[in-house]
Structure 1
Amino acid sequence: MYALTEKGERIRAMFGAIAPRYDLLNRLLSLGIDQRWRRFAVKQIGVAKTGRVLDVATGTGDVALEIASRTASDVSIVGVDFCPEMVELGRVKVQQAGLEERIALQVAPCEDIPYPDETFEAATIAFGIRNVVDRKKGLTEMQRVIRKGGRIVVLEFSKPTAPVFSSLYNFYFLKVLPLIGGMFSRFSAYKYLPDSVLEFPSREDFKGIMKEAGFSDVKHYDLTGGIATVYVGVK
């Protein structure tokens, strides 16, 4: 079993603590835009009518459910996440959607995916790679379990590109968001969110890490003025 670093354990405990309010706060703090971002990301996976798709850092299963809604019924989805509390909530949502036959969720970190080489047609990770302590190892592990020619799709928060929009966004992200998050959940968790985005590599640097992990034809798409970015690479 992969041993998380001390930092990784702290992040896992933090997400476990906010799990019950996680979905509500995502919708509230993003004004529902996060759902559109997930839909765009899922459209990039390019999976045919059959096969398996892996969703890493699946959380409460939003992306796994989105993949199920936008692929053929013969496509199965596996979601993994290092936070047991998130996975349990995700299983409830999968059951409520009647998709237990298509979606399986389990506890596992990005750096140690418990599947053989070339098991999946594609892999996704939404708002999760930022929380992986060893990002290159995590991406390399995702590359390992994807079949040749398969895609990885990464959706992550990023820093806006337009100066004026960036100033407004930074005020909301750094000042307002932690306060709202603290009203419903833990202030420290929603202070961690903007801090982790600010320290995340630039778009070009992150694409470089993807290439080092074995992906080619790496490109990115900025969404909503660059608040979020979708990265796509091919094994």
Structure 2
Amino acid sequence: MEKFAHDTIVPLKNSSLSKKEQVADMFDSIAFRYDFLNRFLSAGIDVWWRKKAISQLAALQPQMVLDVATGTADVALMTYDILHPQKIIGIDISEGMLNLGRKKITAKGLGNTIELYTGDSEHIAFDADTFDAVTVAFGVRNFQNLQKGLEDMRRVLKPGGKLVVLEFSKPKNGLFKGFYNIYMNIIAPAFGKMVAKNKDAYQYLNDSVQAFPEGGTFLDIMRQAGFKNTYLKKLSLGICTIYCGNK
């Protein structure tokens, strides 16, 4: 199984815990401020990014959807609002994030439609050919084994089903790239330390983005995992990218 540079990027370099364990602990510790920091640090544009990703499924009209690395269930809730599938399952390795997501789902009265479970992409606890669509927003960078995660997401998709990945990427425009690097290296970690009391989490965000195999390279990895009809769409001058492929 091929390993990629970002697979080894961890929040705490001196920890004896695995990447998966460290990521779970990290998100547990920042869960209480996660939604606020997402909106604040992106000036709210992350909501638009998620909607653009979900819109890639509009023609498919999926009825069974799996949201991997669902976090506080933002994408799961938006998927219901936009596509109205019969059932949405969200999985995540952070129980702290899931608890917040469950509260949001209950507040909207959607407990019978959206269900959240502890779980990760490499060991999805569902049979093959279960879901019409799989989504994962800002989660694949956190996989301990990217290829294994992609292969298991493909396994649980029905034939003809679609994977939609939303992930940070690095802008190529010179001037904007310089501002982006300052923002990710200095500003985001500083706000993470001030608001969520966890600078390491937002330093890890930058480190993992820098190491992630983005663009055409990621599409190649998707194809190696068995996906067909792969394509990408860059958003906001390349800060973010949508990747799609079919089983």
Give yes or no for the alignment of 1:210 onto 2:245.
no
Structure 1 position 150 matched with structure 2 position 153: no
Pairwise CA RMSD: 1.2
- What number of residue pairs does the alignment pair up? 230
Please, which of 74, 82, 105 is the counterpart of residue 70 of structure 1? Answer: 82
Would the aligned equivalents of 1:47 and 1:71 in 2 still touch at CA under 8 Å?
no
1:188 corresponds in structure 2 to: 200
Alpha-carbon distance in structure 2 between the residues aligned to 1:137 and 1:25: 30
Q: Is residue 12 of structure 1 aligned with residue 24 of structure 2?
A: yes
C-alpha displacement of 1:175: 1.1
Structure 1 unaligned segments of length 5 or more: list them.
Answer: none
Q: Which residue matches 1:79?
A: 90
How far off its partner does 1:51 sit?
2.0
What amino acid is the match of 2:79? I
Tell which has more relative contact order, 1 or 2 (C-alpha 8 A, sep 6+).
2
The answer to which of 207-216 and 48-57 deviates more is 48-57
Aligned counterpart, 2:56: 44
Once the two structures are overlaid, the 10-residue window that deviates more, 5-14 or 153-162, is: 5-14
**Shift, 1:60, TM fit:** 0.3
**Distance across 2 between alignment mates of 1:39 and 1:233:** 18
Given candidates 206, 211, 235, the residue that maps to 1:199 is: 211
Whole-angstrom CA distance in 2 between matches of 1:57 and 1:45: 18
Residue pair 2:71, 2:92 contacting (<8 A) in 1 also: yes
Unmatched tracts of structure 2, length 5 or more: 1-16
Report the TM-score when normalising by structure 2.
0.90
Residue 97 of structure 1: CA displacement?
Answer: 1.1
1:27 matched to 2:39? The reply is: yes
Query: Normalising by structure 1, what TM-score?
Result: 0.95
Instruction: Evaluate the alpha carbon distance shift between residue 177 and residue 88 of structure 1 in structure 2; reply closer, same or farther with a 3 A threshold.
Output: same
Counterpart of 2:112 in structure 1 is: 101
- Confirm or deny: 8 A CA contact 2:102 2:116 kept in the other structure: yes
